[in-house]
């Protein structure tokens, strides 16, 4: 149906002007818009120019019979759903059956009864609307089903990549620990070699411990078992401690490290979860450090009305635009080219986002590939806890992201 229900268009095809007049008058009184033609070719041209909602089709036409007209129309997929009611003086059973076989939906014999015509037209229009609506609903359902299947397949693929990456992140340091431990058994090692092997074991152990910690954190977040502990927290003190923690490592890479504090001492007290806030900033700075080899890393905060807006900026490799919308999702790094070049389980940013939301905030990013990235998050200044379970893959967990213009 391509028009409103109360203004359906009906095409009448009959070679007798008297029939055209009577049927037209009858149907116009019922509120329908009516067009009339006298032969088969004019009917085809009229339908191709502007599809009607229903066709009343005579059989005995001068140029081609109604069966031929209907057969021709139904060969075009565009016209296949237009209901055709044959209306003819041919009342033999074979004629009626032939009308249905070529695509007709009903058959009225002449001389016709006005009330019968009205009833049959109304019935077929209602059925046509229902068929069209059903088709639309089926199409929507098929599209949604296809999207759901594709999403499930993508989720399975990402999870497989994630599990493969986790296996790598545990086995690689474990092999390092076992290998260097075996080398330490050799009696001919000098002190310098021993220290080198011990350092490698420590680094491998730290890497494996971080992977295990991330897995435990994700599990506790998903199951809602992670509790919050809000208290008065000095933001400046947090910034200073994190700066002191990372300064040696950042400077070893030849990167400038800058911190920013916008509030004076004693006015920087925020009621929040100190441990979660620290973890958020540490994860973001670790991320900036991992993907930066030069330039600078800046972090800090500023007061934005009743919100504290934190930021961590780097001049590293940046994030491709097509990854920015999903960068906070689980498994993303494990499935990207980054996983083969940079160590990591791909869980850090997912955990970070969960922590930000748990303390009542939101997080977003700005990034340009080859230029760098800036992560921002805001939390309430003297806000209250939002202690509830989190599903890291929930549709409600909308990622906000922006792209730096060129």
Residue 362: the pLDDT is 94
CATH architecture for segment(s) 7-112: 3-Layer(aba) Sandwich (3.40)
CA gap 70, 40 in Å, rounded: 9
| Run of H or E residues at 259 | strand 256-260
**So what's the pLDDT on residue 75?**
92
Query: Which token pair is 118?
Result: 């009205």
Cβ partners under 8 Å of residue 30, min gap 6: 118, 121, 122
Give the other-Cβ count within 10 Å of 138's Cβ: 10
DSSP H helices, 6-106, are 17-28, 40-49, 66-74, 93-101
Give residue limits of the domains in the chain.
Answer: 7-112, 152-222, 230-403
pLDDT, position 208: 72
- Give the number of other CB atoms < 10 A from CB of residue 218: 18
What is the Cα–Cα distance from 18 to 290, expressed in whole angstroms?
A: 87
pLDDT of residue 113: 92
Q: What gap in Å lies between CA 240 and CA 117, rounded to an integer?
A: 87
| 221 to 12, 117, 202, 351: CA distances (angstroms) | 68, 67, 28, 8
| Residue-level pLDDT at 99 | 93
CA distance 193 to 199: 10
Q: Which two tokens stand for residue 40?
A: 């088969």
Helix-, strand-, coil-residue percentages of the chain, each rounded to 5: 50, 20, 30
Domain topology for 152-222: Helix Hairpins (1.10.287)
Residues 300-348: tens digit of each pLDDT = 999 988 899 999 999 998 888 888 877 887 555 533 444 445 454 457 7
Locate 304 and state its tokens: 């934005």
**217-275 pLDDT, tens per residue?**
666 766 666 778 899 999 999 999 999 999 998 988 999 999 999 999 888 999 999 98
CATH 3.60.15.10 for domain 230-403:
no
Q: Structure pTM?
A: 0.48
3-state SS class at 297: strand
pLDDT at position 235, please? 94
In angstroms, the CA 293 to CA 291 distance is 7
Distance CA 263, CA 193 (A): 49
Can you list the residues of the chain whose pLDDT is less than 70?
1-6, 151-173, 186-187, 207, 210-211, 214-215, 217-219, 221-225, 330-346, 383-406
Sign of CA dihedral 359, 361, 366, 369: positive
Category of 324 on φ-ψ map: left (φ > 0), alpha (ψ -120 to 50) or beta: alpha
The predicted pLDDT at position 404 comes to: 36
């Amino acid at each position: 149906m391509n028009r409103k229900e109360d203004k359906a268009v009906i095409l009448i095809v009959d070679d007798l002007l008297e029939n055209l007049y009577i049927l037209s008058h009858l149907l116009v009184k019922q509120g329908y818009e009516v067009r009339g033609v006298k032969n088969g070719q004019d009917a085809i041209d009229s339908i191709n120019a502007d599809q009607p909602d229903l066709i009343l089709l005579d059989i005995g036409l001068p140029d081609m019979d109604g069966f031929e007209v209907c057969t021709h129309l139904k060969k075009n997929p565009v016209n296949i759903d237009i209901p055709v009611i044959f209306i003819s003086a041919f009342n033999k059973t074979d004629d009626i059956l032939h009308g249905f076989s070529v695509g007709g939906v009903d058959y009225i014999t002449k001389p016709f009864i006005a009330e019968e015509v009205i009833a049959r037209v109304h019935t077929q229009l209602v059925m046509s609307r229902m068929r069209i609506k059903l088709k639309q609903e089926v199409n929507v359902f098929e599209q949604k089903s296809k999207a759901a299947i594709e999403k499930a397949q993508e989720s399975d693929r990402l999870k497989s990549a994630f599990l493969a990456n986790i296996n790598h992140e545990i086995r690689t340091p474990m092999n390092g620990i076992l290998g260097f431990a075996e080398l330490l058994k050799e009696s001919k090692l000098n002190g310098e070699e021993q220290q080198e092997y011990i350092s490698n074991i420590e680094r491998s152990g730290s890497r494996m411990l971080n992977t295990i910690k991330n897995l435990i954190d994700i599990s506790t977040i998903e199951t809602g078992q992670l509790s919050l502990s809000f208290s008065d927290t000095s933001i400046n003190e947090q910034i200073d401690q994190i700066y002191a923690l990372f300064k040696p490592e950042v400077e070893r890479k030849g990167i400038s490290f800058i911190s920013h504090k916008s509030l004076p001492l004693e006015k920087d007290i925020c009621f929040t979860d100190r441990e979660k806030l620290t973890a958020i900033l540490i994860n973001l700075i670790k991320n900036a450090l991992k993907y930066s080899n030069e330039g600078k890393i800046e972090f800090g905060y500023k007061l934005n009305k009743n919100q504290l807006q934190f930021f961590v900026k780097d001049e590293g490799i940046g994030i491709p635009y097509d990854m920015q919308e999903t960068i906070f999702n689980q498994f993303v790094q494990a499935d990207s080219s980054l996983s083969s070049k940079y160590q990591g389980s791909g869980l850090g940013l997912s955990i970070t986002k969960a922590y930000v939301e748990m303390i009542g905030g939101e997080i977003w990013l700005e990034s340009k590939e080859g230029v760098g990235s800036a992560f921002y998050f805001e939390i309430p200044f003297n806000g209250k806890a939002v202690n509830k379970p989190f599903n890291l893959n929930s549709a409600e967990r909308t990622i906000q992201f922006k792209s730096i213009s060129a």
